[in-house]
Structure 1
Amino acid sequence: MAKSAGASSAPHDTPTPAAARRLRVWDLPTRLFHWTLAASVIASIVTAKVGGNATVWHFRLGYLAFALLSFRLLWGVMGGHWSRFGAFVYGPGALWRYLRGASRAEDRFDIGHSPLGSLSVWALLLLLALQVATGLVADDEIANVGPLNRFVSGALASQATGYHKAIGQWVLIGLVVLHVGAVLFYLLHKRRNLVAPMLHGDKVLESDVPADLPPSRDTAATRLLALGLFAACAAGVAWVVSLGG
């Protein structure tokens, strides 16, 4: 485990120039959330396409996504500095400056999520939440019924099912493709590796970056807090699912 927020004990994917320094940007809970959610989304799409016995796993993966999204909601308030919602909520002015390439000295768009990247994150989180919500009340009128289906009308369940299986699924796939495409664009065109920091947590900062930028806390205590929060979220999801029993 890393000793502290800005520790340089993370793996070094590239040599660090002498004039540069490392800053802990993505704490371990955020990184685990990111990769676990990505894997669960991909697996849920695959199991939905396969159907049959794989549908059982589609539901389980949906419950996992539900727990992860609930955790991220809490971690957006209690997590490391750059993982908090306040660190990547931008106004129209900041977005316009970013798109024009006219950032101000105080703008640190290259540290956490950029204004454009934050829009992608918000869109993915909101659409995933909608996909989970519609799945909880869906009914394909064959063999698969969401655990909360009995609490909604047949008309609402039908609309939710239609959205979940068609529009929601394809919009989500489209956003995932755009997200991956943006990562490749930054890597190949701007020569900025966005994947490596999400693996080891640190970003290399140039010498002209202010020295007082806050690192994300990533200590044993914060990791235990995250574990407890996720356990509580998983228990909450299990309780919600049990309501359909």
Structure 2
Amino acid sequence: MHTVRVWDLPTRLFHWALVLCVIGQIITANVGGNWMNWHLRLGYAVLTLLLFRLVWGFVGGHWSRFSSFVYAPGTVLAYLRGQARPEHRVGHSPLGALSVFALLAILLAQVGSGLFSDDEIAFSGPLVALVSGDTVGLATTYHRSVGKLFVVALVALHLLAIGYYKLVKKERLVRPMIDGDKQVQAPMPSARDTVRTRLFALGVLVLCAVAVNRLVGLGAATTF
């Protein structure tokens, strides 16, 4: 067996921070009231994390890069037929990759629609003033009904997949996302996870946070 650093520290921190923020958003949305202030803050945090992950998908560690888990349709079909490659047991498998892209897309759509939503009572997204009333209505409907169901469904499917891999395929997916390492049978490249790459990731995160702050500020600038 070979020990491979699959998930670098920035990827692991992103993953668990996103988990906590999404759970917090679901709870605060259902509680309502003044908790909606935290719902908005968590939304900004999720958007920052998603932007970071998009950038990290091009410059991060080997197994965190999109190039390592963007599979052709033929590869996905072969995987479903039981013709898995050795690297499919290291990073994201073809099905796992589809799940990741779906989750990123759904969360981006949910957070994006939230920026333009208005409950017509006490809370509204920061970019409501930039679009028409019809657009605000569509964004609000999607955010409060369709998008919310998509997020809950994908989270549930994600948890079911983790349980399936652990109980049926005897693969542990959670542990590598905690310590970063995975035991594999064939030699595989390890992800870069040095002090330099971690500081670089911190810089990327800060830039993403600044970008979100500027984006949110557009609505306030338009209002005044």
TM-score where L is the length of structure 2 = 0.96
Tell me if 1:122 matches 2:97. Answer: no
Q: Structure 2 stretches of 5 or more lacking a match? A: none
Please name the residue that 2:211 is paired with: 236
> Any idea what the Cα deviations from partners look like across 1:13-33, whole Å, max 9, x if unmatched?
xxxxxxx12000100000000
Q: Percent identity?
A: 53
Displacement over 4 Å in runs of 4+: none
Counterpart of 2:144 in structure 1: which amino acid?
Answer: K
Please name the residue that 1:67 is paired with: 48
Structure 1: distance between partners of 2:189 and 2:163: 28
Please name the residue that 1:110 is paired with: 89
Aligned with residue 32 of structure 2, among 22, 32, 51 = 51
Structure 2: distance between partners of 1:103 and 1:124: 23
Tell me if 1:23 matches 2:17. Answer: no
Q: Structure 1 stretches of 5 or more lacking a match? A: 1-19
> Any idea what the Cα deviations from partners look like across 1:26-46, whole Å, max 9, x if unmatched?
000000000100110011000
Please name the residue that 1:94 is paired with: 75
> Any idea what the Cα deviations from partners look like across 1:86-125, whole Å, max 9, x if unmatched?
0110111111111110235xx5210100000000000000
The DSSP-based 3-state class of the residue aligned with 2:87 is: coil
Counterpart of 1:216 in structure 2: which amino acid?
Answer: A
The DSSP-based 3-state class of the residue aligned with 2:219 is: coil
**Aligned-pair distance for 1:82?**
0.3
Counterpart of 1:113 in structure 2: which amino acid?
Answer: H
TM-score where L is the length of structure 1 = 0.88
Tell me if 1:224 matches 2:177. Answer: no
Equivalence map 1:91-240=2 (5 Å): 91-104=72-85, 107-206=86-185, 209=186, 211=187, 213-240=188-215
The DSSP-based 3-state class of the residue aligned with 2:4 is: strand
Structure 1: distance between partners of 2:204 and 2:20: 20
Structure 2: distance between partners of 1:165 and 1:103: 39
Structure 2: distance between partners of 1:192 and 1:110: 9
The DSSP-based 3-state class of the residue aligned with 1:140 is: coil
Counterpart of 2:50 in structure 1: which amino acid?
Answer: L
Number of residue pairs matched by the alignment: 220
Structure 2: distance between partners of 1:200 and 1:57: 30
Please name the residue that 2:17 is paired with: 36
